[in-house]
Amino acid sequence: MIVTTEKLTKRYGDRAVVDEVSLSVRRGEVYGFLGPNGAGKTTTIRMLLGLVKPTSGSARVLGEAPGTPRALLKVGSLIEGPGFYPYLSGRDNLRVHAARRGVGKTGVEAALEQVDLVGAAGEKFRRYSLGMKQRLGVAAALLGQPELLILDEPTNGLDPAGMADMRDLVRALAAQGQTVLLSSHLLGEVEEICDRVGVIAQGRLIAESTVEQLRGDSQLLIRADPLEKAHVLIEGSTVHGDALHVREKDAGVLVRVLVAADVDVREVRPLRRTLEEVFFEMTGAA
């Protein structure tokens, strides 16, 4: 296990912002830490890095207590946006960070290379675009080849192209065996790049599973004419407005059944549950 937490709790006043969270991140996986705004993701991550002390419960990072040099030197992190000196160039910012981490010049250049910032490394951080700032943050996290990379909403504020770039970067790192803990409030993002997911809402970890399991049995949406006839033909289907929903993976079989019965099939598509729906279901069930 790379990260384990045991009933990790943080209270501000009488409000439990992180409430008995027990999660685990395994070596080599990309772990998605999924939750809406204010769910407690950043607070949990801060506790894993020793920035915030837990009110109760405990955490282990690479077998060490969070925030100790032994833990920190093996973890690279980007929490709630990059924190750099605005008047220094990207490269100088990395040099400063590298000096603290005991990493040399070659490490700095390698990190710049990895995030594709070599060309802009001499420019002042202040003048960087949001995407460049975020990539520099990842570069800083990569310094010293950490065993665990913690990225807190790394695509926050990026445009679609920037988001795609960031996801590609994480995927590339994962392909090299890098363990990543990535927080997000976007189900699509987590689905795309994560192996396992922990879902947090209002401070509580309400699910921890693979992405497949999280999405649950997929449903199909079917629009057909006449709808009533289709509804009768397809066992277990439910009517939602002018469409049917059915828990079934094989669209081909359904379409053949309907067409054979002379029903016009206008639309068949997988019904993507939104994050909201997943949450409502989970919090409702909990």
Ligand X SMILES: Nc1ncnc2c1ncn2[C@@H]1O[C@H](COP(=O)(O)OP(=O)(O)OP(=O)(O)O)[C@@H](O)[C@H]1O
Residues that bind Mg ion (CB under 5 A): 42
When binding is defined by CB under 8 A, the residue of 57, 81, 162, 216 that contacts other proteins is 81
Which of other proteins, ligand X, Mg ion, none binds 79 (CB below 5-8 Å, type-dependent)? other proteins
Q: Name the burial class of residue 215, with classes exposed (0-12), middle (13-18) and buried (19+) by CB atoms within 10 angstroms of its CB.
A: middle
Residue reference for tokens 């990379």? 149
When binding is defined by CB under 6 A, the residue of 37, 177, 260, 262 that contacts ligand X is 37
Which helix (H) or strand (E) segment is 151 a member of?
strand 148-152
User: Cβ 101 to ligand X, closest distance in Å?
Assistant: 25
User: Cβ 44 to Mg ion, closest distance in Å?
Assistant: 9
Which tokens belong to 65? 């207590």
Q: How many CB atoms lie within 10 A of CB 264?
A: 12
**C-beta separation of 97 from 105 below 8 A:** no
State yes or no: residue 85 binds ligand X (CB under 6 A). no
Q: Is 84 helix (H, G, I), strand (E, B) or coil?
A: coil
- Residue closer to other proteins by CB (options 25, 220) is 25
Chain-centroid distance, C-alpha 91: 28
Residue 189 and residue 121: Cα distance in Å, rounded?
28
User: Cβ 53 to other proteins, closest distance in Å?
Assistant: 6
State yes or no: residue 40 binds ligand X (CB under 6 A). yes
User: Cβ 181 to Mg ion, closest distance in Å?
Assistant: 13
* Sign, CA torsion 84/85/90/96: negative
Which of ligand X, other proteins, Mg ion, none binds 72 (CB below 5-8 Å, type-dependent)? other proteins
When binding is defined by CB under 6 A, the residue of 7, 26, 27, 38 that contacts ligand X is 38
- Residue closer to ligand X by CB (options 21, 174) is 21
SS (H, E, C) 47-73: HHCCCCCCCEEEEEECCECCCCHHHHC
Listed ranges 31-39, 170-178, 240-248, 261-269: which one lies at the site for ligand X (CB under 6 A): 31-39
Q: Longest Cα pair distance anywhere in the chain, in angstroms? A: 73
Which tokens belong to 1? 């296990």
170 to 209, contacts with ligand X by CB under 6 A?
Answer: 185
What x/- string results for residues 130 through 169 when contact with other proteins is judged by CB under 8 A?
----------x-----------------------------
State yes or no: residue 77 binds other proteins (CB under 8 A). yes
When binding is defined by CB under 8 A, the residue of 23, 30, 46, 230 that contacts other proteins is 46
Q: Which residues contact 283 (CB under 8 A, 6 or more apart)?
A: 201, 202, 206
- Residue closer to other proteins by CB (options 73, 233) is 73
Order of strands, sheet of 243-247, starting from the edge strand that comes earlier in the sequence: 238-240, 243-247, 219-225, 264-271
Residue 36 and residue 50: Cα distance in Å, rounded?
23
User: Cβ 125 to other proteins, closest distance in Å?
Assistant: 9
Write out the residues near ligand X by the rule CB under 6 A. Answer: 12, 17, 35, 37-43, 185
Write out the residues near other proteins by the rule CB under 8 A. Answer: 46, 49-53, 68-69, 72-73, 75, 77, 79-88, 92, 95-97, 99-102, 140
